[in-house]
Structure 1
Amino acid sequence: MTEPLPFSAMLGRLLRHRELGVPELADRAGALPSDIRAVLAGAPPAAGLLRRLAAASGLHAVDLFVLAGMPVPDDLVPSDAAAARWVPDIAQDGARRLSAAQSRHVAEPARSMQPEPRNHD
């Protein structure tokens, strides 16, 4: 199976696709160009930078946390219990796009997962 691209590569592709330079993205995100360059070079992004990059690029912050392989902060996770009803449909839709081998690779560990209780302080 193909390994996912590192976040640095995905961010670089986004910049090229949107025809944005590092200085322009940094300005839009209220970040230092050196911070953006560090992430493009493979440094892990700080949570605050991910939030600012999301706002500056018109993406959802949750998506950037997931793409960066970082835990999604509690304040970005929907607290609406009704939102959970959509998870099976979303997962099934994604699963339909996988080959049989990819589906087995994803399904086995997924079946063993138990939801963790959320702290709603």
Structure 2
Amino acid sequence: MTALTPSSFWILTVLASGRRHGYEIMREATEASEGSVSLKVATLYAALERLERDGLLIADGEEVVAGRNRRYYRLTDAGATRLAQEVELLERSAKAARKRLPSGAVTKGAAWA
């Protein structure tokens, strides 16, 4: 299993709480990642196409709001499973790395030189 890209991880994370349109996904991914991911429009839609092709999400309706077309997306069961697997992988990786940190190492808000 290949690790998800940060963009894909945060898109799936946002969709785990329900159906969203593109702008909501961009905004919520930035918020949920505490600013570590800031999706651009082209990046978002390329990732959405890839994730849909991989069966991890599906388009779930469209509507016109203020003259603009909004396409909604939602997580599939396979997408929810893949996200859960990724979370487990990240947790195991963090645990293994934490064990190797020198005692007394700063682990919260650490800046790397």
Q: TM-score, length-normalised on structure 1?
A: 0.29
Q: TM-score, length-normalised on structure 2?
A: 0.31
Decide which structure has greater strand share.
Answer: 2
Decide which structure has greater helix share.
Answer: 1
> Which structure has more RCO (C-alpha within 8 Å, separation ≥ 6)?
2
